[in-house]
Amino acid sequence: MSILRNGAKLKKILGMGKKEKQQVTLIATMMVMGAFLETLGVSMVVPLVLIVTQPGVMEQNPIIRTICDIGGIHTEKTLLLAVLAGLAAVFIIKGLFLLAEYQMQFKFVHDNKLAVQRRLLRTYLKRPYEYFLGTDFSEIMQNITGNVNAAFTVFSHILGFFTEAVVSLFLAIAIFIIDPMMTVLVSVVLLLLMFFLLYIIRHILEREGRKKQKYGAQMTKWLLQAIHGIKEIKILQKEEYFLKNYIDAGRKQLEAERKNAILNRVPRILIESFSVSAMLLGIAVLVIRGRDVGEILPALSAFAMAAVRLMPSAHRMVTYMNELAYYEPAIDRLVAYFEDLDKEICEKKVVSDGQKRFSLKKQILLSGVSYHYPNMKKNVLTDAEICIPVGKSVGIVGASGAGKSTTADIILGLLKLQEGKVLADGVDVSELHGEWLSCVGYIPQMIFMLDDTIRSNVAFGIPKEEIDDGRVWEVLEEAQLASFVRGLPESLDTQIGEYGVRLSGGQRQRISVARALYPDPDLLIFDEATSALDKETEAALIGSVKYLHGKKTMVIIAHRLETIEMCDIVYRVEGGQVSKV
């Protein structure tokens, strides 16, 4: 059954512990109690109608007479008022109870949704660096946002389905006691209709759900590309191209959503039409069999009350089941990711605050290193040997695509080698990756900037209340940017804008240097940090590098020899080979 299959998938996604299981048990108990109150409210309609339509009911009906004797009720007027008061109390209590039940359900769903999103993001962040080299980032966003939302929509629907199912069962039992024949007739019609609707509509909704997944991911992809490429888009005047592709994917997604919306309204129309017809047929049969209208009026009233609750209930159950089919592709994507994660436990660790730090004393050695990227056969480096003594500046030069940045990633321990090792004081850095990264500062060619203050960009990833402003100023001095920041009206509190748009390229690079220096690393790696700068700005940044010469162990990767003229040792990367210059 679809609901059980999806329930099993959700269990994998949720990773439910003891606390969550206890919460589910409590919610299930509240469902049963809510169903009892719903049934009690419908059941009390029968004595109410009997009192109104049949004078002398206190004497004629033994059950009512017994209840009146126990309650000390002596007149029909008092009985009527008592029944009215009781019915009102039941509905008030039921309403308050259902509010509490729904509040618990929604809190459980939303808390767990956020927990799964946090779990997903954490697992993505802990993935090895190589994982992101061949990953579509729009799919990651779709997984964390769209697919998780879809999964918990399904979870809400499963809870809703069982709520409606329990209520419907209790109501069916209550009206079966009142009139078995009509109950069986209406129930059979409803069940047959529900199964028919589910069988016909389910496969269509599954197909439309897959389309929604596909085109939703495409919309995210084109949106991200339009935002990240806005400068080139404007210069080349290609706004309409990106808009067209986004809208084309959007139209296809909306078409899937439109079909889903229409198909979810079909069951209500059919259920109402067939159920009312079945009920009227039942009444006609009772009349034909000679039952007096006065006799069937209480039963008819109870059926009318039950129908008011049962028909919408049946419609909601069919809708929930159809929605399960529509969102199942999203759940399948999440389940597939978590199953892959179980098979491939991430070997790399993320550096956390307070983690033990490696202390570099002697040298870093690349020994017999051979590497090629996943799904590629040609080596970027073959049997490479590089020695980086502590306190020295080591330059690495080569043409574009020769493997210089790959060498930097290997030194950082971000790539899994096919052969060889990276040894820090004789210790393989892959065995203590977090500790190793904690002693390395990295300055890339393309700087990632937070849309935040200069302070937050220098003290990257550190909570604002824990930032040491004194240390921020120290590293800004070392990066030769302190005088510029002091001249700003808001100093360290200056907002730099998204991607650092309010700063020049050289200023962004110097903030990157200050960021790398903030944790006081033993090793600094400049990965073509000057290649995107003009001559004057490059010269200024090289001045910062010269200031650090002899104070830090440095690896400087560049295209040109003049960029690394201050280096003590220079290596050239060419044709997969590394040679000393």
Does 296 score more than 70 pLDDT? no
CA proximity to 35, closest of 170, 162, 158, 159: 170
The reported pLDDT for the residue numbered 532 is 55
Cβ atoms of residues 481 and 510 within 8 Å: yes
Task: Give percent of the chain with pLDDT exceeding 70.
Answer: 74
The reported pLDDT for the residue numbered 333 is 75
Cβ atoms of residues 34 and 94 within 8 Å: yes
The reported pLDDT for the residue numbered 182 is 66
The reported pLDDT for the residue numbered 307 is 64
Q: What is the C-alpha separation between 133 and 82, in angstroms, rounded? A: 73
| 138 CB-side CA count, 13 A | 16
Q: Which residues pair with 423 in a beta bridge?
A: 365, 428
Summarised one tens digit per residue, pLDDT across range 186-229 is 677 777 776 776 667 767 766 777 787 778 778 877 887 787 67
Does 272 score more than 70 pLDDT? no
Q: Estimate the crossing angle of helix 2-14 against helix 148-178, to 10 degrees.
A: 140
E strand spans, 33-90 = none
Cβ atoms of residues 527 and 408 within 8 Å: yes
CA angle 284, 288, 294 (to 5 degrees): 75
User: Taking phi first (over 0 means left), then psi (-120 to 50 degrees means alpha), and beta for anything else, what does residue 309 get?
Assistant: alpha
Distances (CA, A) of 372 to 52, 126, 375, 380, 415: 88, 22, 8, 5, 9
Q: Strand 393-397's sheet: what is its strand order?
A: 440-443, 523-527, 553-558, 393-397, 569-574, 577-580
Cβ atoms of residues 108 and 21 within 8 Å: no
Does 275 score more than 70 pLDDT? no
Residue with tokens 């990767």: 557
Mean pLDDT to the nearest integer, 4-17: 63
Q: What is the C-alpha separation between 359 and 366, in angstroms, rounded? A: 18
Instruction: Provide CATH 1.20.1560.10 ranges for the chain.
Output: 2-343
Q: Give the residue ranges of DSSP H helices in 238-265.
A: 239-263
Taking all residues of the chain, what is their mean pLDDT, rounded to a whole number?
76
The reported pLDDT for the residue numbered 106 is 80
| Token output for 80 | 């009527």
The reported pLDDT for the residue numbered 353 is 42
Does 345 score more than 50 pLDDT? no
The reported pLDDT for the residue numbered 18 is 74
Mean pLDDT to the nearest integer, 255-268: 73
Residue 415: pLDDT band by 50, 70, 90 thresholds? confident
The listed range with the strongest mean pLDDT (134-148, 155-169, 396-410) is: 396-410
SS3 of 159, please? helix
What class does CATH assign to 363-580? Answer: alpha beta
Does 404 score more than 80 pLDDT? yes
Q: What is the C-alpha separation between 61 and 78, in angstroms, rounded? A: 16
Distance between first and last Cα of the chain: 70
Q: What is the C-alpha separation between 406 and 373, in angstroms, rounded? A: 9
Does 55 score more than 80 pLDDT? no
E strand spans, 497-564 = 523-527, 553-558
The listed range with the strongest mean pLDDT (125-129, 369-373, 546-550) is: 369-373
SS3 of 59, please? helix
| 390 CB-side CA count, 13 A | 12
CA proximity to 3, closest of 163, 110, 172: 163
Return the amino acid letter for 6.
N
How large is the greatest C-alpha to C-alpha distance in the chain, in angstroms?
114
Instruction: Provide CATH 3.40.50.300 ranges for the chain.
Output: 363-580
Task: Give percent of the chain with pLDDT exceeding 90.
Answer: 1
pTM over 0.75, yes/no: no
DSSP 86-102: HHHHHHHHHHHHHHHHH
Residue 473: pLDDT band by 50, 70, 90 thresholds? very high
Cβ atoms of residues 83 and 46 within 8 Å: no
Q: What is the C-alpha separation between 389 and 425, in angstroms, rounded? A: 10
Does 312 score more than 80 pLDDT? no
Residue 290: pLDDT band by 50, 70, 90 thresholds? low
**What CATH number should be reported for the domain whose range is 2-343?**
1.20.1560.10
Return the amino acid letter for 85.
A
The reported pLDDT for the residue numbered 252 is 85
How far is residue 65 CA from its own chain's centroid? 60
CA proximity to 165, closest of 264, 38, 272, 44: 38
The reported pLDDT for the residue numbered 329 is 74
Summarised one tens digit per residue, pLDDT across range 94-105 is 888 888 888 888
Residue 347: pLDDT band by 50, 70, 90 thresholds? very low
SS3 of 579, please? strand
Q: Are strands 553-558 and 393-397 parallel, antiparallel or unpaired?
A: parallel
Cβ atoms of residues 507 and 479 within 8 Å: no
The listed range with the strongest mean pLDDT (29-33, 47-51, 61-65) is: 29-33
SS3 of 369, please? strand
